[in-house]
Structure 1
Amino acid sequence: MLHRDDGVTLQMRSYDRKSRVPHDLAHAVTERELGLSTGVFGCLAAGALFASVQVLEGRLRYDAKERSRRLIAGHARDIAVAEVLSAVVHDAVEHERPTPFAAARAAWGSLREEPFPYEETDVQRATSTLRRLGDAWVHLPAGTGLRFDWPRRLTAAAVPPARPRSRRAPRRVR
């Protein structure tokens, strides 16, 4: 369950049944450890509602659907980066591989032109944290959950609505 600051409680349905460690946990850990505020969890904290999310408690904002649409569309590239980096870290943990720094850098390069902004220690921290929480997840008693705190500083910025286009004809300059 995800408890947002606005009093809304969400539950994510995981489509990941083959893995020992849930893919959603890999997202949360990787995004938090790498400081990705505009990945899946930063957008959820800001009000995004993905198809895999169900509202359990609380009242949504009057503009929740539109706000969610703007957040997801406005941060789509960053969500894709979070997806590939989370997949790399998740794969390393699932297959008991060493820290996947080279794979993370290559995944970044498949979506971004800028240099990879993380050090090997950053990717190591994400991988180690996911290993530790993955082990805790596997050993949880039935019916209990794993607590994972999301820092407020990693909440995605709101995306303002697009300005409506003016219907006036352009002015002619003489």
Structure 2
Amino acid sequence: MRIRLVKQQTGGHLVTAILDDGVEMHVAETDHDHVVPHEISHLALEGTLGFAYGFWGCVSRGALFNGMRVLSGRGEQEALAVSQTVRKEAGARFINAEIMVAAIEENYPGARVGDVEECRELAMKNYTALSDLLAAADLPEATRRWAELVGAWADVPRGGAMERDWVSAAEPIDKDAPVSNQ
């Protein structure tokens, strides 16, 4: 899947995706500045950490979430049916990916903490239901990838775009740990 992030003149962003089967989707749009669009965090962290059914993994299979729509390549009824199937298949794994991304975003090394292991400890403390996943996660690689994408986004001028391919980890892990209420 090819993901395109456009930095709008307002500083907001527009995100579209072209799935491997040619379906084009409107994923997200904001009209206000984001230092780091949340979709970039998902792109960096889910792929590196192996969340096959995180946000981008679900989108790549045809899932639609709030504010999303199919632009071309699939009719509305078919798109809704595919989305329902993918979302049911994903189950709690999608929520766990969202929580993992939030845990790392909130404690990102260099922003609030000094290093990756401090990030891991704080995230484990604040998201206890995901402690086992966080303990095993390759956070150094995930945060390196995140910093790389954050830097690339910072270099995009207003009106410019950044494109990336969605590539999940070679051996995606089904993240079925209990979900935290946080």
Which deviates more, 7-16 or 142-151? 7-16
1:146 maps to a residue whose letter is M
CA RMSD of aligned residues (A): 3.1
Measure, in 1, the Cα distance between the counterparts of 2:26 and 2:110: 23
Q: Does 1:102 align with 2:124?
A: no
Per-residue Cα deviation, 1:60-102 (whole angstroms, up to 9, x for no partner)? 4863212211221331311111111111222216835332222
Q: Does 1:115 align with 2:132?
A: yes
2:144 matched residue in structure 1: 128
* Structure 2 CA distance for partners of 1:16 and 1:118, relative to 1, 3 Å: farther
Tell me if structure 2 keeps the 8 A contact 1:33–1:126: yes
1:146 matched residue in structure 2: 162
Deviation at 1:125, TM superposition (A): 1.2
Tell me if structure 1 keeps the 8 A contact 2:18–2:25: yes
2:69 matched residue in structure 1: 54
1:42 matched residue in structure 2: 57
Instruction: Give the 5 Å matches for 1:19-30.
Output: 19-30=34-45
Instruction: Pick the structure with greater CA Rg.
Output: 1
Measure, in 2, the Cα distance between the counterparts of 1:130 and 1:101: 15
Tell me if structure 2 keeps the 8 A contact 1:29–1:130: yes
TM-score (norm 2): 0.69
Uncovered stretches (5+) of structure 1, i.e. residues with no partner: 158-174
1:169 matched residue in structure 2: none
Measure, in 2, the Cα distance between the counterparts of 1:6 and 1:71: 15
Deviation at 1:30, TM superposition (A): 0.8
* Structure 2 CA distance for partners of 1:80 and 1:18, relative to 1, 3 Å: farther
TM-score (norm 1): 0.72
Q: Does 1:88 align with 2:103?
A: yes
* Secondary structure in 2 matching 1:130: helix
* Structure 2 CA distance for partners of 1:129 and 1:59, relative to 1, 3 Å: same
* Secondary structure in 1 matching 2:70: strand
* Secondary structure in 1 matching 2:133: coil
Measure, in 1, the Cα distance between the counterparts of 2:110 and 2:61: 30
